[in-house]
């Protein structure tokens, strides 16, 4: 048997991560004792709140360590329904809720039950790195809709209509966005919803950064506009960003009953139930007042404003002010470097790690995370400013 026939054909469509060499190099340099400033993190730098950890300890001590229902405990699903109604004006019954091993797992499950080989998925570009690869794993085809900084990296209805074909099955919307921090306003989503309804296109609405939104902006969920778009929308969320619970691996979705039932069957025979202890912690997180989340949002806005002020003074870099999440998507075309060379050289020469925009489909940008302290941001930006001035 030839070596290239040993593995499934579908894996040949999966692209290797363009960040792997950068992140591996950063870890190596740190082990060597170098003072690495990481502006690459995709997770809050805050610890999970004590009241959530205490709920997990209580679950352990009470012996809550066995299998749960595949799609999540009734207790957790009930409180997720309450969350969707309160925060998003979305009415879901418990059997429309699927709790999975993180929001990424939720998105993958949704794509798996919706897509056939001939289908196409529309993905705004720049995109979160896993979207196209998940579509490829489903043996469907990702189709990208280019956006511009002039429109805050958001698609327009005109953009959307130009890319729809007879094969279009799903549109993925991520608001607030990773990597750009862009946030769709209600009027924008209403127009997108009309098009999707008219063409019978499903919408996977990735709302994982919902609670990290700035300047008094309001998060909008596309699924709550009317019954027609509700019946086509899979709303995805989780606790990784809002409650700094990345390692707990709890994500969830609300979906039309037929889609939710299909996902339940899929999860029955793949991952089965999410971690029982983490589910108890998730109940505590969702039941509590939003004091921690408010503190998180306020701190991230301070960091965003600081970073914007520093970037304004760097001639060879540009940026669009993010309205949410904790990333700054920066243009680097004036440096004459592509994003991978920029990230590699910045790490080797100044010991600062960032994520190359090639990972998100835009090689003339980099992503800077401000999920780190102001002191670390200052140190990193001092080095970046001095370094770019020498290019």
Under DSSP, is residue 180 helix (H, G, I), strand (E, B) or coil?
Answer: coil
Nearest to 257 by CA among 282, 281, 231, 286: 231
Give Cα separations from 319 to 242, 312, 322, 367, 368 (angstroms). 25, 8, 9, 10, 10
Q: Quick one: tokens of 186? A: 């209600």
Under DSSP, is residue 67 helix (H, G, I), strand (E, B) or coil?
Answer: coil
Phi, psi of 331 (to 5 degrees): -75, 140
Tens-digit pLDDT string for the chain (391 aa): 455 678 898 888 888 777 777 888 898 999 999 999 999 989 999 999 999 999 999 999 999 999 999 999 999 999 999 999 999 999 999 999 999 999 999 999 999 999 999 999 999 999 999 999 999 999 999 999 999 999 999 999 999 999 999 999 999 999 999 999 999 999 999 999 999 999 999 999 999 999 999 999 999 999 999 999 999 999 999 999 999 999 999 999 999 999 999 999 999 999 999 999 999 999 999 999 999 999 999 999 999 999 999 999 999 999 999 999 999 999 999 999 999 999 999 999 999 999 999 999 999 999 999 999 999 999 999 999 999 999 9
Q: Quick one: tokens of 23? A: 């992140």
**Domains along the chain with CATH numbers:** 3-47+291-390 (3.90.1150.10), 50-287 (3.40.640.10)
CB 94 within 8 A of CB 73: no
Whether residue 126 has a cis bond before it, omega within 30° of 0: yes
Q: Please say whether the dihedral angle defined by the alpha carbons of residues 44, 47, 50 and 55, taken in this order, is positive or negative.
A: positive
Q: Quick one: tokens of 270? A: 């793949």
For residues 338 and 127, what is the distance between their CA atoms, to the nearest angstrom? Answer: 18
The mean predicted confidence, pLDDT, of the chain is: 96
Whether residue 105 has a cis bond before it, omega within 30° of 0: no
Predicted pLDDT of residue 1: 46
pTM of structure? 0.97
Q: What is the pLDDT of residues 32-81, one digit of tens each?
A: 999 999 999 899 999 999 999 999 999 999 999 999 999 999 999 999 99
């Amino acid at each position: 048997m030839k070596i290239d026939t040993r593995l499934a054909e579908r894996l040949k469509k999966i692209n290797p991560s363009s960040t792997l060499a950068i992140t591996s190099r950063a870890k190596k340099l740190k082990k060597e004792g170098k003072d690495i400033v990481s502006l690459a993190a995709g997770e809050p730098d805050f610890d999970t709140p004590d009241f959530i950890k205490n709920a997990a300890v209580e679950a352990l001590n009470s012996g809550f360590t066995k299998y749960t229902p595949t799609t999540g405990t009734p207790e957790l699903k009930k409180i997720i329904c309450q969350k969707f109604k309160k925060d998003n004006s979305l009415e879901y019954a418990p059997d429309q809720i699927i709790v999975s091993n993180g929001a990424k797992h939720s998105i993958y499950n949704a794509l798996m039950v919706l897509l056939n080989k001939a289908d196409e998925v529309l993905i705004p570009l720049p995109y979160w790195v896993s979207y196209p690869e998940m579509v490829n794993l489903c043996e469907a085809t990702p189709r990208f809709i280019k956006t511009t900084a002039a429109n805050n990296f958001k698609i327009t209805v005109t953009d959307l209509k130009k890319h729809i074909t007879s094969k279009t099955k799903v549109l993925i919307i991520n608001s607030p966005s990773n990597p750009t921090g862009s946030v769709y306003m209600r009027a924008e989503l209403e127009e997108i919803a009309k098009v999707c309804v008219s063409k019978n296109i499903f919408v996977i609405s990735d709302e994982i950064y919902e609670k990290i939104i700035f300047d008094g902006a309001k998060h909008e969920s596309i699924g709550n506009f009317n019954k027609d778009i509700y019946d086509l929308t899979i709303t995805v969320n989780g606790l990784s960003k809002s409650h700094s619970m990345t390692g707990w691996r709890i994500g969830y979705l609300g979906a039309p009953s037929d889609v939710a039932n299909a996902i339940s069957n899929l999860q029955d025979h793949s991952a089965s139930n999410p971690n029982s202890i983490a589910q108890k912690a998730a109940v505590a997180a969702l039941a509590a007042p939003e004091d921690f989340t408010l503190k998180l949002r306020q701190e991230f806005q301070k960091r965003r404003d600081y970073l914007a002020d520093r970037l304004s003074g760097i001639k060879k870099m540009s940026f669009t002010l993010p309205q949410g999440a904790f990333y700054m998507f920066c243009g680097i075309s004036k440096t004459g470097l592509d994003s991978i060379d920029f990230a590699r050289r910045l790490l080797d020469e100044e010991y600062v790690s960032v994520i190359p925009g090639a990972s998100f489909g835009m090689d003339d940008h980099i992503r800077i995370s401000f999920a780190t302290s102001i002191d670390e941001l200052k140190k990193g930006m001092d080095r970046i400013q001095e370094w770019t001035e020498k290019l």
